[in-house]
Amino acid sequence: MALLLVLPASASYGRDCMNWQRVMNMQAVGGKTDGRIVVVRPFDDYTKAASDEWLPQGLADLTASMLAASGSLRVFSGPSVAISPDAKGPEFVVSGMFQHMEKGLRAFVKLSRGDQTLLSQYEVLVPYPDNNQIFMDFAEVATKIWQVMGVSGDNGALAAVRDATTSTRAFESYEKGKQTLEGYRQSDMEVAKTWFEQAKRNDYRSPLGYQGMIDLLTFLGLYHKQRRDPFGLYFEQAERELSDMNRLAKKPAPYWTPVKKPSKKDKGAVALKNRFLLGHASFNEGLIAAENGKWPEAAAAFKRSVEFVPEDSVSWYQLARVYENLGNAAEASAALRKAYEVNPCVEK
């Protein structure tokens, strides 16, 4: 059987078969395999100001990212709560509320057991907006929650989240973009892009806006790849955003960066540091190897690609074709099943 090297146009390919929100959260959920389970719920808004619509999930995301910096907790927030079965029975639940005071923000953060038994509660009262004290105080709350849970924290990782920006305006723009992006509707991507670009303008030294753009562009690359549209340009643009972030932004990048730690043998891993870009590079290596009839090398490259991006049905499909060329029927069948699991329209 001939290998499918060129992705032909297909009007129906993947258009109605993929739940993108579920697919894009697959790795985040599947990658959390160890640690006690924590669910962080959106904060209750007691002020109900139109300008605060982003804050309930924004404060939850900030809290979740800081708690996850421990490295020993499985923290779920946002769409992953609905997607992961593990999030249905957490050991701990973090919730809260907030309201505007005169020139300030007052918030309460509650830590409960999964059975709703209250363990501790913390008050945060900070000048707001245009004051970075909110990041300092929420980091202090995260440290106290770790102590109640009995887990050790990674202070370096926590500092990376806390110090990602000193601008609440930049964080607000980033969060608005992130919350728009996480619906994973292609029609919303221009809106998300506007917010991420605004985050960069608010604080060009913060990695947040660049990270948002990388997330957006790699999603668009994967989205168009599944539809067999031209997709390479999106990954090239994401690499440029990563380069700009490394050149302009403060370091280290926050804990929530979508990075998979590569093995030492992965060429270019130090430069890329993003699983989607690493997967794209491996995919291209697989195509080149297959085009030259180097089937074992092609199989190894496509296997690396799906290890980095298991939600890429095209890479699974190509891996199945290569295994078939190698005469490995069982492995070809398994790879093809994975392709269909991600995208039931993979061969349409």
Q: Which structural domain range is residue 345 located in?
A: 1-31+261-348
Last residue of a domain, one of 163, 179, 208: 163
* 40 and 72 share one domain: yes
What pLDDT does residue 26 have? 64
CATH number at residue 341: 1.25.40.10
Same domain, 347 and 304: yes
By percentage, how much of the chain surpasses pLDDT 70? 87
Same domain flag for 274 and 210: no
Q: What is the pLDDT of residue 262?
A: 42
Query: What pLDDT score does 101 carry?
Result: 87
Indicate whether 38 and 156 sit together in one domain: yes
Average pLDDT over residues 36-64: 96
In the listed set 138, 163, 188, which residue is the last one of a domain according to the structure? 163
Residue 126's beta-bridge partner residues? 105
| 113 shares its domain with 145 | yes
Q: Is the pLDDT of residue 9 over 60?
A: no
CATH code of 66's domain: 3.40.50.10070
Looking at the structure, do residues 103 and 143 belong to the same domain, yes or no?
yes
Tens-digit pLDDT profile for residues 61-111:
999 999 999 989 999 999 989 888 888 899 999 999 999 888 899 999 999
User: Where does a domain end: 236, 258, 280?
Assistant: 258
Q: Is residue 78 domain-shared with residue 3, that is, in the same domain? A: no
Tell me: do 17 and 36 sit in the same domain. no
Per the prediction, the chain carries an average pLDDT of: 88
Residues 6+ positions from 137 with CB-CB distance below 8 Å:
124, 126
- What was the pLDDT predicted at 34? 73
Q: Among all chains, which residue has been given the structure tokens 């190698």?
A: 326
Strand partners, 106: 99, 125
Whether pTM > 0.85 for this model: the answer is yes
- The pLDDT value given to residue 256: 53
Tell whether 61 and 143 lie within a shared domain. yes
Domain count, the chain: 3
H-only helix segments in 182-294 = 189-202, 208-226, 232-248, 269-272, 275-291
**Can you tell me the mean pLDDT for 295-303?**
98
- Dump pLDDT digits (tens) for 326-337: 999 999 999 999
Q: Tell me: pLDDT of 121 over 70.
A: yes
258 has pLDDT over 80: no
